[in-house]
Amino acid sequence: MRRRTPAAPRSLGVAYVLCVLLGLLGAHRFYLGHPGPGVAYAVLTVVGLTSASWGIGFLFGALVLLLVLIDLFRIPGYVRAANGQYWTD
């Protein structure tokens, strides 16, 4: 039988710093245990940067920026959820 061990606690301050400094790459989402959205943020940012010369990159950049701004308000809930989760050895 597997023993359940509490996950390492996540810090609200670290989550905010990651969101502000590396939010366009989804670093705060990886830190809080949401790798799917983190990958999506990174991919959208890279696609936006590479397609900037075509003029469509602005749309990708605006979308990611909007998602990061929304996350700034949702981070406290994400941290509470991350601190309540458990992982299995």
How far apart CA 59 and CA 80 sit, in angstroms, is 32
Q: What is the pLDDT of residue 37?
A: 96
Indicate the pTM of the whole model: 0.82
- Cα 35 to the center of its chain, rounded Å: 7
**Does residue 2 sit within a domain?**
no
What domain count does the chain have? 1
Range of the domain at 42: 7-82
Q: Name the pLDDT band for 3 (thresholds 50, 70, 90).
A: low
Q: Name the pLDDT band for 53 (thresholds 50, 70, 90).
A: confident
The stretch 35-64 carries a mean pLDDT of 91
Residue labelled with tokens 């670290």: 14
Residue labelled with tokens 């929304």: 70
**Does residue 59 sit within a domain?**
yes
**Does residue 48 sit within a domain?**
yes
Q: Is the pLDDT score of 23 beyond 70?
A: yes
Q: How far is CA 18 from CA 11, 50, 89, in A?
A: 11, 23, 27
pLDDT > 90 in the chain, percent: 66
Q: What is the pLDDT of residue 55?
A: 80
The listed range with the strongest mean pLDDT (20-24, 52-56, 82-86) is 20-24
Q: Is the pLDDT score of 52 beyond 90?
A: no
**Does residue 89 sit within a domain?**
no
